[in-house]
Structure 1
Amino acid sequence: MSTLPSLLHPLLPTTLPTILLTLLLLHLLHLLLYDPHRHLPGPWHARLSPPLWLHHHAYTGDESTQISRLHRRYGPVVRIARNDVSISDGAALAPVYAEKGGFLKAQCYRNFDFEGRATVFSALDVAYRAVRVKAVGSLFGMGRVRAGAGVVEACVERFVARLEGRRRRKKGGTRVDVLGLCRALALDAVSSYLFGRGFGGLEEEEEEEEEGGFSAGGFVDFFVAVGRFFLLPPWLFEVVDGVVGWVVGPDWEAEESVRVVGEFARGLVEGVGEEGRDDDDDDTFQARLLRAGIEKEEVKVQIEDLIFAGTDSTGMNLSMLCWNLARHPHIYRTLRDEVLAADAQDPTGTYHPLTLPYLTATLRETLRTSLANPTRFPRVVPPQGLAFYSPQAQKPFFIPPFTTVGLQPHTLHFNPAVYPEPRKFDPERWLRAPSAEMQRDFFPFGVGARQCIARNLAMMELALAARALARSGVLVGAEAVGEEVEILEWFNSRVRSGRVELVWR
């Protein structure tokens, strides 16, 4: 028996690679033969594990473009990873996101937790989220938002004044970044309306020599960058986040911005009941959560989450509105004519801007093309699976249980079968009897029970800003810089250059 190791030893160098290769081939054969998704079309690499292709494109910021290309090649249902399926047929929106409350969010949403706590956005537990939404939900209803429009309009007036000041100072071809200014407006509007205290971003923008330097900018960019790792399993996200932080080192500017926003949020929580009002009379977002029994540390986190979401997406959409109006002067003239005519009929200016057809169409076209959130909103298929008929493919599909499935605005909004000349910025398309498919596939805020809770507030901000931009004439003579605004296609898109620029001649 003692001679057995010595007899085997010469064989190990040659047999070990063979054994490993055999095990690998057997594993791949098992994946192929016992694959519940093998009937779904898609590239060969989607059958393998792990989903390196998907994570690579998520990190490099072209995930949405690559998935749209797969749909053009393989059709409306595409397997993009071993357990991931993308759908481009809007007929699937209702069963995935709306019917019976929609499918549950995928585990990767936990990567958007703040300070280890689930937010109204990132929560997977329906009951956990319901308690918080019940406490604050009425603040986001359209009737309530319209009643508080004066607070938002005051912020919009300061925004237009800042933009007008830059127009005067920079006239003559100097580039002006409007992204930072639009973010500042979005932050001031959401904080003034929901928290009862403005952040003061527009005042910071006025004081800054360089545009885009307001103190919450680093905070927003920091959490936008989380999107490059959004699809990772939460346990791996924690590992990667730690490794990246160790390798790259601290970003002192971002950390200072996170600290400033955190102090603002903490001050809002601690200030409940300290301004001469009874707690029961305080109708702010933070007071409502505290009355619902939510502990202070979590309320602070929920505030930070709203600051991020309310600043980034609306800031992006508003900056793209400015850019597109400058790029298309005839659209700006038509919008301006409509607003001035409405002002003449109602000199008080109290009419709701969304009653103006061309203004509303311009906003819808902005939301369709700006891609503030371009990627899939992933959900988990329930135990019974997903069976749906695709009008695009003219055949039924079955998605197995527990598959991660989703649709993305990038593909839906640029589908030429639904939106002819999809890359063209054309508000008129919404005035020419838009098809049912156009209405259905319009997907900027999501759909169903988990769609953006602040969508009505965001639309009010955009509508009031569009009216003020038209009324003031501040964009007369403005030109958009560049043929397009290039973005990194993370969950929240990021402008590659960090700037959305205009010039006044």
Structure 2
Amino acid sequence: MAIFQVSAKLGSSLLFEPVTNHPFLAFLLSFLAYGFILTVYRLFFSPLSAVPGPKLAAVTRLWILYHDYQDQRTDIVTDLHRKYGPVVRLAPNEVSFTSTAAVKDIYTGSGRESGFPKGFLYAMFTHYGRYNMFSSLTSEAHSWRRRMIASSYSLTNILNREASRGDIWRTVGEYVKYVRREGSESKNGPGRSIDIYPANIYFACDNVSAHVFGEERGTKTLGSLVDSAEIKLQRDSIDDWYVPTRREKIYLWTDFNVALRCFEAFERTTQKVIRIIQRRVDPDSKYIGGTFLHNYAYKNMRELKDRPSVELTVAKNLLSGKVSGKVSEVFDEYGAASESMDHMLAGMDTTSDTLSFLLAMLSLPEHHEYQETIRNSLPDLCPFDQPLTVADINQILNNTYLNSVIKETLLIFPAIPVTLPRVVPSGGRVVDGLWLPAGTLASSSVRAVNLTFLPEFEKNPGNVQWKPSRWLVKSDADKDRVQELERRLWSFGSGGRGCIGKHLALTEMSLLLAAILANFKLRRDDDDNNDALETPHSHWTCRRSFRDIAYLQDFHGFLRFEPL
């Protein structure tokens, strides 16, 4: 018996003495054991273990973090959905969906349940230390803000405003003048060549600023630079906003949530200090510590609060602080400026991107026929200094062929193609028959939702063609297919948290495209030796806040506008 006791004691000493005498080894073994148990749990026992996807993604978030850092998320997620289907696990606690039912549950809600709240990532998009509609994390915070200004963005309001004032049509005229005035003579044929990207940014900025603040206070970046230092300042400031250094890899913040919260707390505290200084020093001075655009929005809100405009604008609705006749929350100039700043940036980014991709595709030789078809279907257009009638605007907006090229561009080249994360609320939710525990990130990629329905995507995902003819209805079978395409087109989002500026953007793009094709033929002009055409930023290849994919990388951005 003693022999067995000695043997047991000796074995115990051999196994455990080295560990107890070496704390680092003990920590390492504990860490490895924890990692092994966690890996087994995430692969086989987690509520998400049955969700298809890469095994490494199920084990660690470092997998998707690597692709975030490489600006590959959109491409990777789209490819995973092609491989695994409508539900894919991207990380231990993140699932991506592409079905229309899942998109509705997550972003709109069904029955008595509202859509899922946003993740803390969106708090980055506050301005002046104040939340706005886009950065609001909950449906409640978003809802009352939206109700204050929804009427300003309704199609009825936009049509009536345009028919009475003609602001967008006048800006379209300025675009045509810009081409004729500032375009350079081309070596490749008749007409003037311009870099369409900055032109489209200026066009979108002038329109959205007039819609938010009123035509008198809107920017005039498409105007002539001759004897106008203000227009040059506006252009330079907008160009500076689009330099690559301002376009952060924002999805990294999703993986470093603590750092994001610290950043957000610091930013809000700093803004409070700035507001105190602002009020004591000179409340009417320019906004301290901001860019030209920050000062522009703040200054307009200060002046409109003290001297209200008779023109019914987004800014006027914001400063009224009224929702359905009741005071919900009275905006001061900072809260109203935050909202208006967000509208300007969103309107500039998405509309200009879509217009640039659209014009670039139409300019290709194989797509010249679309130009002719649209041109021949347009009504007679009045001069740019006269407003179009509601009937004229509706005729353009409902033009089948013009609509087909716009929708196809939104489908293939969404301005915001990335995954839009939401957080599963307490108690968990069932999405697409899958139960998701509270705290899970549930998301859908705009590009993946748009493309996975297309037959050619399954065969060759890297060669999905820009084909506007897919939107034309020539038979009953085409009607059903186009209706399904309409349901799948998610470039403007959906539900109460979808893009509030959808009708404004579509009206801008439709009127501009109609005017361009009524006056010019679009042709590529990729002359590398034309020194007069210098881009203000590497707009085709640099990453944007919500675009981690570079479309049309072989296109330099120059188009030749050949007069008819």
- What band does the TM-score fall into relative to the shorter chain? 0.7 to 0.9
Correspondence for 2:97 among 65, 87, 95: 87
Amino acid at match of 2:117: L
* 1:263 aligned onto 2:295: yes
* 1:72 aligned onto 2:82: yes
Deviation at 1:412?
2.2
Correspondence for 1:108 among 98, 111, 121: 121
* 1:291 aligned onto 2:291: no
d(CA) in 1 for partners of 2:456, 2:18: 72
Q: Does the residue aligned with 2:495 lie in a helix, a strand or coil?
A: coil
Q: How many residues align?
A: 474
* 1:218 aligned onto 2:274: no
d(CA) in 2 for partners of 1:229, 1:12: 34
Per-residue CA distance 1:303-336 (angstroms, 9 max, x = gap): 2111110111111011112111111212112122
Amino acid at match of 1:78: V
Correspondence for 1:415 among 452, 468, 476: 452
d(CA) in 1 for partners of 2:115, 2:198: 35
Per-residue CA distance 1:374-397 (angstroms, 9 max, x = gap): 0122222344544455xxxxxx54
d(CA) in 1 for partners of 2:69, 2:352: 23
Matches within 5 A, 1:293-312: 293-312=330-349
Amino acid at match of 2:420: F
d(CA) in 1 for partners of 2:554, 2:203: 17
Per-residue CA distance 1:76-126 (angstroms, 9 max, x = gap): 100001111111223322222223442222232222222432211110133
Amino acid at match of 2:424: V
Aligned to 1:329: 368
Instruction: Tell me if structure 1 keeps the 8 A contact 2:357–2:413.
Output: yes
* 1:379 aligned onto 2:416: no
Deviation at 1:242?
12
Question: Alpha carbons of 1:363 and 1:503: their partners in 2 closer, same or farther (altered >3 Å)?
Answer: closer
d(CA) in 2 for partners of 1:288, 1:412: 34
Aligned to 2:557: 501
Question: Alpha carbons of 1:109 and 1:273: their partners in 2 closer, same or farther (altered >3 Å)?
Answer: closer
Per-residue CA distance 1:329-370 (angstroms, 9 max, x = gap): 12112122222x5559xx995312112111111111121122
d(CA) in 2 for partners of 1:81, 1:291: 44
Unaligned runs of 5+ in 2: 1-16, 267-286, 322-329, 529-538
Deviation at 1:431?
0.9
Question: Alpha carbons of 1:472 and 1:498: their partners in 2 closer, same or farther (altered >3 Å)?
Answer: same
The 10-residue stretch of structure 1 (110-119 or 155-164) with the greater mean CA deviation from structure 2 = 110-119
RMSD: 3.7
Aligned to 1:247: none
Structure (1 or 2) with the larger CA radius of gyration: 2
Identity rate of aligned residues, in percent? 22
Aligned to 1:460: 507
Deviation at 1:417?
3.6
Matches within 5 A, 1:87-236: 87-100=97-110, 101-149=114-162, 150-172=166-188, 176-196=194-214, 197-203=217-223, 214-221=236-243, 224-225=247-248, 227-229=250-252, 231-232=254-255, 234-236=257-259
Deviation at 1:233?
5.0
Unaligned runs of 5+ in 1: 1-5, 244-254, 390-395
Question: Alpha carbons of 1:27 and 1:269: their partners in 2 closer, same or farther (altered >3 Å)?
Answer: same
d(CA) in 2 for partners of 1:26, 1:66: 28
The 10-residue stretch of structure 1 (374-383 or 315-324) with the greater mean CA deviation from structure 2 = 374-383
Amino acid at match of 1:83: N
Deviation at 1:65?
0.4
If the length of structure 2 is used for normalisation, what is the TM-score? Answer: 0.74
Q: Does the residue aligned with 1:272 lie in a helix, a strand or coil?
A: helix
Per-residue CA distance 1:108-167 (angstroms, 9 max, x = gap): 222222243221111013333233222222100001111222111111111122123344
Instruction: Tell me if structure 1 keeps the 8 A contact 2:184–2:194.
Output: no
Matches within 5 A, 1:312-323: 312-323=349-360
The 10-residue stretch of structure 1 (445-454 or 108-117) with the greater mean CA deviation from structure 2 = 108-117
Per-residue CA distance 1:278-327 (angstroms, 9 max, x = gap): x3845222232222111111212222111110111111011112111111
Instruction: Tell me if structure 2 keeps the 8 A contact 1:204–1:215.
Output: no
Q: Does the residue aligned with 1:302 lie in a helix, a strand or coil?
A: helix
Question: Alpha carbons of 1:179 and 1:493: their partners in 2 closer, same or farther (altered >3 Å)?
Answer: farther
Question: Alpha carbons of 1:13 and 1:223: their partners in 2 closer, same or farther (altered >3 Å)?
Answer: closer
Aligned to 2:492: 445
Instruction: Tell me if structure 2 keeps the 8 A contact 1:375–1:409.
Output: yes
Amino acid at match of 1:424: Q
